[in-house]
Structure 1
Amino acid sequence: MPLSAGPHVVVLVEGRSDAAAVAVLLRAHGLDGEGRVKVVSMEGVTNVARDLRKSRDEHPDAMVLGLYDVAEERFVLGALRRAGVPLEAPVDLVDHGFFVCDSDLEDELIRAVGTAVVEDALDEMGHLERFRTFQYQPEWRHRSLTDQLHRFAGSGSGRKVALAERLAVRLDATTTPPPLAGLLGRIAQHLHP
């Protein structure tokens, strides 16, 4: 039976930077054509119940998947329970199409590509000199390079989204973080059974 018109898969993500990274990877894997996949930025995980319900109402034939931060799991569990999904302990949300980032997608991307590649991306964006200044601020001077990069990514208008896109472009089959690889695999499996 052919899939219906409209998106075949809806992907719920916490924010715009997550949506940007997922969109880059969908294009790279040839999964974005013909409106088959719709990525929804929830603008915060506390909106997951609303966006899950809305996605199911607007696209009843679509598979709804998600990406979330490990600290926010309770919101996803609550939303799925309210949506009538039977969840028994212990719960593996991957079974229900929700993939967890440790601790968030930015951390996953930084670990995947390495700090040198992140600095290269910042240089490409014209932000490396600002980052060097940021590193010498007293409250960040003694923090790890990974922590500094993570904080700096979220400190400028539009920087988090732009950096997420640039890091996602640099991923390949061996460096794609497990939650993103799992999400892409599930989408591909649904679109090409």
Structure 2
Amino acid sequence: MGMADMGAFREAVAAWAAGGPDEDARELAERLDVRTAVLLEGPSDVAAVDALAALRGRDLAAEGVCVVAMGGAMNVGRHARLLGPSGLGLRLTGLCDARERPFYARGWAGAGAAEQHYFVCVADLEDELVRALGVPRVEEVVRAEGDLRPLRTFQSQPAQQGRDAGGQLRRFLGTKKGRKIRYGRLLVEALEPGRVPAPLDALLADL
């Protein structure tokens, strides 16, 4: 099974979660032998998980693991019901921000998942990555991407003056469409092997 097949399953799940029919998702789950659904808030989290899996020589699609961007933590209940014990019967896991933990807890309970199995970032995954790398290393990655000048312009704005450098970097990553996704991958690829943030490391070990 390739990434294209798992991509088709992800698209079928998104359509089903949006109120569409369930036939395609059910058929693909069976044909592809999907066993685990990793529920993530958005595509930048998916980019980070996929990047770490690649660095560790893992082919999650071939292992029957589907990494799902839900379009926000508020959607976790619906996705958990569709994919978990009450729906397709997949094993559920995921990664969430500390403030989103109640959504995940309710989602897992509503889906009939016996284990509250997901991993929690202190603020969010970007915060975990910035702290793991340190501000100077993150700025090296930003410079290599040609984004240092936009970063300095952003940091000079009055609204950023009360934030520390790590907080400014996190905000900067979310200021332009697609930037957060790109840096989700780049920051993971910049990590030293022993410096992977604990929630991300634990998630990969759990798969």
Tell me the TM-score normalized by structure 1. Answer: 0.84
Corresponding residue for residue 174 of structure 1: 194
Corresponding residue for residue 121 of structure 2: 101
Corresponding residue for residue 147 of structure 2: 127
Corresponding residue for residue 45 of structure 2: 18
Alpha-carbon distance in 2 for matches of 1:59, 1:117: 42
Corresponding residue for residue 90 of structure 1: none
User: 1:54 pairs with 82, 89, 95, which one?
Assistant: 82
CA RMSD of superposed structures (Å): 2.0
Per the TM alignment, residue 73 of structure 1 is displaced from its structure 2 partner at its CA by: 0.9
Segments of 5+ residues of structure 1 without an aligned counterpart are 87-94, 188-193
Task: After the TM superposition, list the runs of 4 or more consecutive aligned residues in structure 1 that deviate by more than 4 angstroms.
Answer: none
Equivalent position SS for 2:157: coil
User: 1:65 pairs with 90, 93, 111, which one?
Assistant: 93
Per the TM alignment, residue 5 of structure 1 is displaced from its structure 2 partner at its CA by: 4.2
User: 2:56 pairs with 10, 29, 32, which one?
Assistant: 29
Corresponding residue for residue 7 of structure 1: 34
Alpha-carbon distance in 1 for matches of 2:156, 2:196: 31
Relative contact order (alpha carbons < 8 A, sep ≥ 6): 1 or 2 greater? 1
Moved more, 64-73 or 25-34: 25-34
Alpha-carbon distance in 1 for matches of 2:36, 2:112: 19
Contact 2:73–2:100 at 8 Å: present in 1 too? yes
Per the TM alignment, residue 9 of structure 1 is displaced from its structure 2 partner at its CA by: 2.1
Number of matched pairs: 176
User: 1:148 pairs with 168, 171, 184, which one?
Assistant: 168
> For residues 135-172 of structure 1, what are the alpha-carbon distances to aligned partners after superposition, in whole Å with 9 as ceiling and x for unaligned?
11111134210011010010011111111110011224
Corresponding residue for residue 138 of structure 2: 118
Query: Residue type of the partner of 1:16?
Result: P
Segments of 5+ residues of structure 2 without an aligned counterpart are 1-30
> For residues 109-146 of structure 1, what are the alpha-carbon distances to aligned partners after superposition, in whole Å with 9 as ceiling and x for unaligned?
00011111111111122111000011111111342100
Corresponding residue for residue 159 of structure 1: 179
Tell me the TM-score normalized by structure 2. Answer: 0.79
Equivalent position SS for 1:65: strand
Contact 2:81–2:110 at 8 Å: present in 1 too? no
Contact 1:10–1:65 at 8 Å: present in 2 too? yes
Alpha-carbon distance in 2 for matches of 1:127, 1:5: 40
